[in-house]
Amino acid sequence: MILLAQGKKQAEIAKALGRSSSTISRELKRHALESYSATNAQNSYLKHRQNSKAQRKLEQPEYFNLVQEKFLTENWSPEQISARLLNLQSKCNKKRSTHQLEYNFVSTQKPLPNDEYFLPTSYNKRARKDNDFTRTGQKTSRNCQSTGT
């Protein structure tokens, strides 16, 4: 603003600030109502910056209440909640939901009164049998004993 008030051209201001002349032109055009004011430009920037951020899903009351209800009262896993929200296309969740959001919700909650914590279900991992083969193809046998001669 000082350089502009001194009658400097946009190209000279750009060179002094180490910016492109198109950046200076755009800045002056964007924030000039009658004349350019740095204070008005800063206030405008802060206002736009505050409004540009999307509201977090867990800060939306409908979404928060739904996740809380399914998790705490019905003991659903985060994956189940996420899948149900995707299938229902609920009003409070216009964007895609991920199970990571529900895990974030779970990690912020206080423990249940009977000190139960949420543990994700296992992914149906099979137990290793005694006669399974190892990576090298050799059969593992715990019951066999070597015969000594």
pLDDT for residue 10: 87
Q: In the predicted model, what is the mean pLDDT of the chain? A: 68
The domain locations on the chain are: 2-52, 57-108
Distance CA 81, CA 74 (A): 10
Distance CA 41, CA 38 (A): 5
pLDDT tens profile 42-72: 888 888 887 776 666 666 677 777 777 777 6
* Whether pLDDT at 22 is above 70: yes
pLDDT for residue 130: 62
* Whether pLDDT at 41 is above 70: yes
Nearest 10 degrees: Cα torsion 100, 103, 104, 107: -160
The whole-model pTM stands at 0.30
